[in-house]
Structure 1
Amino acid sequence: MAPTTASFDQIGYWSPNTASVDWCENNYVVSYYIAEFWNTISSLFIILLGELGLYLCPTKERRFKVAFRTLSIVGIGSTLFHGTLRHKMQLLDELPMIYAATALVFICVETKHGPRGRWFPISLATWLLLTTIFVSITGGKLQFYTFQASFGVLQLAIVYYTTVLHIQQKATVLANGGQNNSTWLIRRAMGVYAFAVTIWLIDLHLCEFVNGVGPNSVLKWNPQFHAWWHVLSISGVYFTTLLIAYQHYVAKGLQPTIYLWKGFAPALTLDAARLQKAAKLN
Structure 2
Amino acid sequence: MENLSSFWGPVTSTHEWCELNYVHSSYIAEFFNTISNVPCILLALIGLVNSLKYRFEKRFSVLHLSNMILGIGSMIYHATLQRLQQQGDETPMVWEMLLYIYILYSPDWHYRSTMPTFLFLYGAAFAVAHSQVRFNLGFKVHYGLLCLLCIPRMYKYYIHTEDRAAKRLAKLYVATLVTATICWLADRLFCKDISLWHFNPQGHALWHVLMGFNSYFANTFLMFCRAQQRGWNPKVKHFLGMFPYVNIQKPKAQ
TM-score range, shorter chain: over 0.9
Give 2:82's aligned residue.
86
* Structure 1 match to 2:48: 54
Q: Work out the CA distance in 2 between the residues paired with 1:192 and 1:184.
A: 12
Larger radius of gyration: 1
User: Retained in 2: the 8 A contact 1:70–1:96?
Assistant: yes
Counterpart for residue 123 of structure 2: 128
CA separation of 1:122/1:28 partners in 2, compared to 1, >3 Å: closer, same or farther?
A: same
CA–CA distance in structure 2, aligned partners of residues 11 and 134 of structure 1? 33
Match of 2:245, SS state, is: strand
For residues 84 and 21 of structure 1, the distance between their equivalents in structure 2, rounded to whole angstroms, comes to 12
1:205 corresponds to which residue? 189
What is the one-letter code of the residue matched to 2:187?
D
The SS at the match of 1:181 is helix
Q: For 2:219 and 2:146, how far apart are their aligned partners in 1?
A: 14
Q: How many residues align?
A: 252
Letter in 1 for 2:38: L
Amino acid at match of 2:103: I
SS of the residue aligned with 2:198?
A: coil
Match of 1:31 in 2: 25
How many Å separate the matches in 2 of 1:97 and 1:103? 10
Per-residue CA distance 1:40-63 (angstroms, 9 max, x = gap): 111122211111110122324210
Alignment equivalent of 1:261, drawn from 229, 239, 246 = 239
Tell me what 1:110 maps to: 106
Counterpart position of 1:100 = 96
Structure 2 length normalisation: TM-score?
0.93
**Corresponding residue for residue 173 of structure 1:** none
SS in 2 for 1:276: coil
Q: 1:183 aligns with which of 167, 172, 181?
A: 167
Which deviations, in whole Å up to 9, do the C-alpha atoms of 1:156-189 show, x marking residues without a partner?
122221111221343xxxxxxxx44321111100
For structure 1, the 5+ residue unaligned runs are 1-6, 171-178, 212-216
Task: Please report how far the alpha carbon of residue 209 of structure 1 lies from its aligned counterpart in structure 2 after TM superposition.
Answer: 1.2
3-state DSSP of counterpart to 1:32: coil
Which stretches of structure 1, 4 residues or longer, exceed 3 Å deviation after superposition? 7-11
Q: Aligned partners of 2:128 and 2:3: how far apart in 1?
A: 30
Asked if the contact 1:162/1:243 (under 8 Å) is kept, the reply is: no
Deviation readout 1:199-227 (Å, 9 max, x if unpaired): 0011112111113xxxxx3x222111111
Q: CA deviation at 1:146?
A: 2.5
Contact 1:104 1:241 in 2 (8 A): no
| One-letter amino acid matched to 1:230 | H
Report if the CA contact (8 A) 1:12-1:35 is conserved: yes
**Given the alignment of the two structures, is residue 241 of structure 1 paired with residue 219 of structure 2, yes or no?**
yes
Structure 2 CA distance, aligned partners of 1:233 and 1:20? 22
Identity %: 29
Task: State the partner residue of 1:193.
Answer: 177
Match of 2:64 among 56, 62, 68: 68
Alignment equivalent of 1:159, drawn from 128, 151, 156: 151
- Distance in structure 2 (CA, Å) of the matches to 1:206 and 1:137: 31
Determine helix, strand or coil for the equivalent of 2:246.
strand
Q: Counterparts of 1:220-231 in structure 2 under 5 Å?
A: 220-231=198-209
- Contact persistence 1:42–1:230 (CA under 8 A): yes
Deviations 1:223-273 (A, max 9, x none): 111111110011011101111111111111212111111111110101x2x
Structure 1 position 278, deviation (Å): 4.9
TM-score (norm 1): 0.84
Aligned counterpart for 2:132 among listed residues 129, 137, 147: 137
Q: Which moved more, 1:127-136 or 1:257-266?
A: 127-136
Which stretches in structure 2 are left out of the alignment for 5+ residues?
none
Shift of 1:114: 4.5
Call closer, same or farther: CA 1:108–1:53 in 2, change over 3 Å. same
